[in-house]
Every structure is written in structure tokens, then in C-alpha cells.
Amino acid sequence: MARPLSFSNAAHLLRRAAARGRREEAQQLAEMGLEPAVDFLLRDPAPAPSYRTAATRNERGQQHREISQLWLNHWLTTPTPAAERLVLFWHGHLTSEFRETMGAQGIDFWQQFATFRQLGYGPYGDLLKAIARNPVMLLYLNNAQSRKEHPNQNWARELLELYTLGPGHYTEQDILEAARAFTGWTVRLPGNQRPREASANLAFEFVFNRNWHDPGEKTFLGRRVRSGEEVLEILIEHPQTYLFVARKLLRFYLCPEPPEALVQEGARVFRAEGTRGFLRWLFTHEAFYSPAYRNALIKSPLEYLVGLWYAAGVSQVSFEERPGRALYQSLAAMGQIPFDPPNVAGWDGGLAWLAESPFLTRLNLLAGFAGRERRLDLEVFMDNADGALSLVKPEAQLL
Amino acid sequence: MNRREFIQKSLLTLALGQGAPSLLSRTALAAQSKEKILVVVNLFGGNDQLNTLVPYRNELYYRLRPNIAIRREEVLDLGTNGERLGLHPALRPLMQMWNNGELAVIPQVGYPNPNRSHFISTSIWHTADPSRRLETGWLGRWGDLQDDPFCDTFLGGATPQAQMGERRSAPAISSIDTFSIRLPRPFEEAFDREAQRVRSGTAEEVRRAMLSLRGALDKVGQLRLVRNQAQYPDNAFGRSIADIARMIAGGLGSSVYYTTLGGWDTHAGQPPRQAELLGYLAQTLAALRADLRAIGRDKDVMVMVFSEFGRQVAENASFGTDHGEGGLMLVLGGGIRGGLYGSEPNLEDLELNALKYQTDFRNVYAAALQWIAANPQQVLGGDFQPLRLI
């Protein structure tokens, strides 16, 4: 039998899981009871709209605004918003920067998000294998150009440091050997079309270039390997991978400094049951509802924007015309542009969002709500809401 | 409320002039007496030393970098004082300073047991602690000892670790002109009311951020009428440095200004990218010097430029370079003793394809701290002989 779920706890759950909600949705979750409510939130993601552009391959700025708009509008309207907050997590974890990924198009980034959506709830190993072959990632971390004569170490390094083990669990030599193993993992356009002549709607695909690959034996974390696949297998078997990523998930879903016992337990669940299992464990855990972890996180700009716009009944943002263009610029000023984290480590988050200039930009967005107070439903957006002026309370910044 | 919270709160209250106006005016007086200013520029991503300060008389350099080496005939010769080295051609705007003895070039700066992760190495430079025990920044620890919330300022999105102390962190201002509150009056009044109501937990941290924002709004608002006297490149970095010049001219009173220029992680296609960035850097710093000369402050400002590491020596297959160890620092200003603080790199004595470090960055920091009349030993927690830059 389902455990009871109070309205107040349902609002907390919805805000954390999806960063988006209104009173009647929290009510509905409360009526379901805890476990069914969690399963309801974590159901398979609704498909996102497909992306096509009239822009050329050189008009990347336009493509970037288009996919950003497409994603935010999807997050605002999808019946499965929890999947989109998880996409944001994967995007900040298995990062790629649009600005820094020369050659990759809007369509390539949109397909990377589709991978996050499709595999995001499943076993981490499956997601990692897909991302290792993801054209955006291969281009972003320069593995697409890595050849046996001079392996490029960028992907190998970040794979170990940021995506799996974390610092302190490997040597510089391991990075070098892993880089050798991944030589030849590259991309092409279908039918070997030339980028210069291709449509911007044509996505890159993964290809293994045997001539660029170093087939020799490598020693990686003390084991003999030859291929990139073997390197990935070792990392996927490694318990440290699950500790490292589970801690990061807890930072995103629970609090900035999760207690060690929860990290250990979370890592076990994450490894055994994948991300959905991990989230189900966390969202049904008593600790998740304890006062210590309520209002413990600071909304990122995207979470703030989606949550507030949804609370105001807005279902469409447009970045192509004024005043939408100003909104897109505000995202930059607040420090979070979709598809463009500041660097390969993703967004710092936490109090950094509330440094003077980014915080001010956020507050200035509220000017657009003056006079529209009656249409705001802030029950899920924040605790202690009491009319539109509550949006300047500290609680409005919390998740 | 614990001690740290108490101090933080009382500092803010004082700073905002709600408790003791006398301290506020004392701080204002103190600000006027602060003559020396440090401007720190963090090149994020790991700038390649070898193509910035080029060993262009070394054959091995050209053999190891057949595709990306800077051509001999393009290098800016540093003359007899620069040994056998020259600067990247995009640094031409800095040559006048070199010739005047106002540009210090410090090759192969690093620290023991180098770490090639961007984030760990950056953190080591920011905390000035290679053992990675400290979490506060070196300038943050200095800031903790000041009684002025504007003793240092960050130009950009979010304050870096270098400027985070136990008790305070530098305000982050991305631009003077956009830094104003544009809310209907009832919202602004409610904001000020909410900022006065003490909370607990994360909500209290948000409230402090609100207080800090309010203080910054009041202070920075006064600078909007100050104009630059020089032309800066029209990009984010140029605009940040232009704002630093306005802050200095307008009497914001910070002793330290900090900003960043990213994009140096040149694993692929390095030559055009690095040239572009070095160009921005040099043009902007030259504009700053001109601006400071126009207001008679040139001799009061030290500019210090660093990156988290240099890059590897042999190029990779994608016309780029991977993460290395020892990297280049630049220090410049009208009151600086210029010259080369080191020697030509030994390309035959490498550590996993990288230049070994020669000078500990904390010796350079010590000189910077000396410049702003801080106690290097107190801030760095060790005895680091200041490089003789002053």
C-alpha cells in the first residue's frame, strides 16, 4: 500500500523532480500516495518534437536559438517534465559546448539530447557507451581528430576525471593509454558528404577509422586492453564510477553536501538499478522529505525560468523576436545558456548563481510580472508564497 | 548564529551603513589612501607558453611542432635582455612596455607535483595551496582581513575561488552599465524588506546574497557617469577591463580587480585561436595602460596575467597541444621592474612531453601582495620570497 504524501511534500517532490508545477498537480500527486506519485513522475519521457532548420551550416547562432527555444518550450509543455530536469543533469555532467564544438550543428546537439532522454533513466553504462560514440562529444573533446601518430588526450582525460572515476583514481599514464585506445573513433556525414555542401539538417554519424587506430596493446588501470570498448568496460565495472556519479546526482537532487552514508547507499542503488531506480530510491526515502533537505538547493536560471513561466501559465517562449531575444540574453547574463555550459565541468551551481550580476538579472525578469499577479500560481514554485511580491523572498530562489 | 555567520552579518550591516555610519565613512577615507592596485587576469584553459614566448632560435622547437610553430620571421625579438626568446606577433601592442622595462615575462611558472586537470590546477592557483587542503582563495584570505566589502571586485559572472574568503567574497559585477535594478517600486520595496528578515539554512544564504546585491547596487550606481579615455576591443574581456579602468577612475576603492579570459584549451586548431586570444589580451592591456596614464594612475597599477598550466611540447595530430605543466606569467605596469625572469626552456628535459616548472607561482603572488601592502606570509601561509618585480 502506498505511503501517504502530504500536499506540502508533494509540492517539494514535484519542484525537485521537475522544477515545474502548479497547485492541482501537487494535489493530484498527494492523492496518489508516495510510491505511485514517484512512479508517475518517473515514467518514460514523452518524445520531444523533431528539429528542422532553414539555417545554413554557417548560421549556428540561429540554430542555437532555435534548439534552445525548442527545448524550453518542450520542458514547459511536456507531460513528463522530470525527464527534462534529468536531461539538464546529464547535459551538465556529460557536457558539450555548442560555442566550442566547431562543425557540429543544431541537429547534432538536438540528437545528443534525444540520447539523454532515451537512455537517461537506464543503466549508466549504456548512456556512457552511447556518449562515447556521440558525434557532438567526439567533436567537442577532439577525439574525432585523434590518430595513432599523436593521440589527442582531451576526451580520455575528461572521461576519467569528469565522467567516471573522478580525480585521484588514475595516473597521467592511464590517460595516455586510454587516448591511444580511442584513436580512430571519429565522425562523418552520411554518404561521406562534405560538410561545406551539406544541409544543416544532416547529422554526423559515428565511424571507426581503422587507419587512424592504434591497435597495439595498452595498459589501462593495470589491465591489458586494446580498444576503446575495453576501456569503457573497465570504467563501467569500476565501483568508483558509481560513487562519483551518485554523489553528483545527490548534489543535484538533494543538497550541496550529501551525507556520506547516503552517497554509499545511493551508489549501490545507482549501479544495480540505473538512474530511474536511483531516483525512485531517493524520492521515496524518508530523508528526502526531512526539513534539513527542503529548500536546500538554489534554482539554476533554467529551472527558475521554466518554473516561473509555467507558474504564470506561459507555454511558449520565443527567442527569435523581441522581447524573446532579451530573454535569451538574460539567460547568458544569468550564467546558463542551454547547450552551452561554461566549460567541460558544466555549471558550478549553488550560490554562484546568486553572485551580484546574475542574481540582479534574474530579479529584473520579475518586472514582466507586474500587473499579471492574478495569473500566478506559486504553490509549487516556492514555499511561503503569498502573492506576486513573494517572488522577491529568498524562498523564490530555492528548489 | 555561529561566529562566522555573526561576523558576516555584522560586516554587511556595517557596510550598508545601517549600523555604524562612522565605520562607513572611515572605510571611504581608507579607500582614498589605497594607492596601489592589483589587476589579475586569469586565462582559463591553459595558455601554451611555447607559442607565446617563442624559443625561435631552437631547432628542436621547430622539429617538435612542425605544423603549429610560430615562424621565425614573425616572432617579435625580445633583444639581448630576452635571451634567445621572442613574443608571438599578436603581442605587438605590449612591445613598447617591454622596451620601457615595464613588462615582466616569467616562463615556466608552476608548483610541485603538477596536476593537469583544468579544474584542480585552477583551484591550486586560486587557493595558492598545492596540497589542496585550503578552500579559501589567496585574495579571499586577504579580503577577510579588510573591513571594506569593496576591497576587491570581480568583473564577470560569478566570483572565482581566488576571491572567496571565510567571511566574505568579492562582489561579482559583470558590467557597470547593466548593473541597475529595474523593478516596479512595490517589488523593490518588498525586496529591501525581505533582505532585512533573518532566515536559516540556504534561505539565509540567499538573503545575504540579497544584502550584498543591494550594497553593490548603491556603490556601482555612482560609477555610471565615468567615461574611458582609451579605446578597448569590443568583446567581453575588453569591456571588463574598460570597466575596471572606470572603477579605478571613479574611486570605487578596490585594491584588487580580477577578471578572466577563457578559450585557451587548444587541443585542436591552435594557431588561429591562440593568435586571436593573444591579440585581445595585448590590445586590451595596452588600452588599459593608456587609460591609466590619462588619469595619472599608471604607476599605481600592477597587472598580473596567469593560466592554470602551459601545454605539452610536441603538437598532437589535430594541430593542437594537450595539457602540460609549467606555464607563462606576465606582470606589467608603470611601477614594475620589467624583464625576463627565467631562461630559455630546456626542450630536452621534459616531464611526459611537458615543460617542467621553474618558478613557484607563490613567489609571484608574494610580490603582488607586497604591491598592495599585504603581508605575503600571512596570506600564503609560508615563506615565499617575493619575485623582485617592484
Smallest Cβ–Cβ distance between A359 and the set B45, B213, B317 belongs to B213
Stretch B45-59: mean pLDDT: 97
Give the pLDDT of residue B21.
Answer: 36
Question: Where residue B5 falls among pLDDT bands split at 50, 70, 90?
Answer: very low
A394 contacts in B (CB within 8 Å)? 194, 199, 203-204, 206-207, 210
Nearest Cα residue to B45 out of B260, B240, B258: B260
Give the pLDDT of residue B28.
Answer: 44
B32 pLDDT above the threshold of 60: no
Smallest Cβ–Cβ distance between B317 and the set A149, A333, A364 belongs to A149
Give the pLDDT of residue A372.
Answer: 73
B12 pLDDT above the threshold of 70: no
CA A194 and chain centroid, separation: 31
Cell of A354: 546568486
A335 contacts in B (CB within 8 Å)? 157-158
Give the pLDDT of residue B13.
Answer: 46
DSSP string, A180-202: HHTTTEEEE-GGG--TTTS-TTP
B157 contacts in A (CB within 8 Å)? 335, 342, 352, 355, 357-358
- Rg of the Cα trace of chain B? 22
B1 pLDDT above the threshold of 60: no
Nearest Cα residue to A254 out of A232, A231, A225, A285: A285
Contact B230/B292 with Cβ under 8 angstroms? Answer: no
Stretch A115-138: mean pLDDT: 98
Question: Where residue B34 falls among pLDDT bands split at 50, 70, 90?
Answer: low
Contact criterion met (CB < 8 Å) for A367 and B183:
yes
* From A112-126, A141-155, A313-327, B200-214, the region with the lowest mean pLDDT: A313-327
B29 pLDDT above the threshold of 80: no
Contact criterion met (CB < 8 Å) for A389 and B187:
yes
Residue of B nearest to A156 (CA): B322
Contact criterion met (CB < 8 Å) for B320 and A142:
yes
Q: What is the ipTM of this complex?
A: 0.95
Distance from CA of B321 to the nearest CA of A (A): 8
B203 contacts in A (CB within 8 Å)? 295, 394-395, 398
Contact criterion met (CB < 8 Å) for A356 and B172:
yes
Give the pLDDT of residue B22.
Answer: 38
Distance from CA of A204 to the nearest CA of B (A): 19
Smallest Cβ–Cβ distance between B184 and the set A356, A357, A367 belongs to A367
Tell me if residue A253 falls in helix, strand or coil. Answer: helix
B14 pLDDT above the threshold of 50: no
B15 pLDDT above the threshold of 60: no
Smallest Cβ–Cβ distance between B179 and the set A102, A146, A360 belongs to A360
Question: Where residue B2 falls among pLDDT bands split at 50, 70, 90?
Answer: very low
Distance from CA of A49 to the nearest CA of B (A): 33
Give the pLDDT of residue A207.
Answer: 98
> Most A CBs within 10 Å: which of B8, B155, B318, as the mutation test of the A interface?
B318
B345 pLDDT above the threshold of 70: yes
B213 contacts in A (CB within 8 Å)? 356, 359-360, 363
Question: Where residue B17 falls among pLDDT bands split at 50, 70, 90?
Answer: very low
Give the pLDDT of residue A375.
Answer: 84
Q: How far apart, in whole angstroms, are the C-alpha atoms of residue A85 and residue A74?
A: 11
Stretch A102-129: mean pLDDT: 97
Stretch A168-189: mean pLDDT: 97
DSSP string, B296-351: T-GGGEEEEEEES--BBSS--TTS---B-S-EEEEEE-TT---EE-S----TTSEE
Express each pLDDT in B85-103 by its tens digit: 999 999 999 999 999 999 9
Q: In chain A, what percentage of residues exceed pLDDT 90?
A: 94
Q: What is the mean pLDDT of chain A?
A: 96
- What are the start-end ranges of the H helices in chain A? 7-18, 23-32, 34-41, 60-77, 81-93, 106-119, 124-132, 135-140, 154-158, 172-181, 228-237, 239-253, 260-283, 301-311, 324-334, 356-364
Contact B316/B65 with Cβ under 8 angstroms? Answer: no
A289 pLDDT above the threshold of 70: yes
Stretch A254-273: mean pLDDT: 98
Q: How far apart, in whole angstroms, are the C-alpha atoms of residue B201 and residue B16?
A: 22
Give the pLDDT of residue B351.
Answer: 94
**A-B contacts (CB, under 8 Å):** 154
Say if B16 is an interface residue toward chain A (CB within 8 Å).
no
Distance from CA of A297 to the nearest CA of B (A): 7
Q: What is the mean pLDDT of chain B?
A: 92
As beta bridge partners, residue B301 has: B37
Q: In chain A, what percentage of residues exceed pLDDT 70?
A: 100
Q: How far apart, in whole angstroms, are the C-alpha atoms of residue A377 and residue B180?
A: 28
Sign, CA dihedral B306-B155-A368-B190, equals positive
Distance from CA of A118 to the nearest CA of B (A): 30
Stretch B217-235: mean pLDDT: 96
Residue of B nearest to A160 (CA): B117
Angle between helices B270-294 and B236-249 (to 10 degrees): 20
The CA-CA-CA angle for residues B360, B365, B366, to 5°, reads 95
Express each pLDDT in A190-210 by its tens digit: 999 999 899 999 999 999 999
Give the pLDDT of residue B33.
Answer: 43
Express each pLDDT in A34-74 by its tens digit: 999 999 999 999 999 999 999 999 999 999 999 999 999 99
B30 pLDDT above the threshold of 80: no
The residue ranges of DSSP E strands in B169-312, in sequence order, are 172-173, 256-262, 301-307
Contact criterion met (CB < 8 Å) for A152 and B317:
yes
Say if B63 is an interface residue toward chain A (CB within 8 Å).
no
Question: Where residue A368 falls among pLDDT bands split at 50, 70, 90?
Answer: confident
Express each pLDDT in B249-306 by its tens digit: 999 999 999 999 999 999 999 999 999 999 999 999 999 999 999 999 999 999 999 9
Contact A363/A392 with Cβ under 8 angstroms? Answer: yes
B263 contacts in A (CB within 8 Å)? 100
Nearest Cα residue to B212 out of B149, B297, B303: B149
Question: Where residue A305 falls among pLDDT bands split at 50, 70, 90?
Answer: very high
Nearest Cα residue to B277 out of B305, B244, B245: B305
Give the pLDDT of residue A384.
Answer: 92
Q: In chain B, what percentage of residues exceed pLDDT 90?
A: 89
Contact A247/A258 with Cβ under 8 angstroms? Answer: yes
Distance from CA of B210 to the nearest CA of A (A): 8
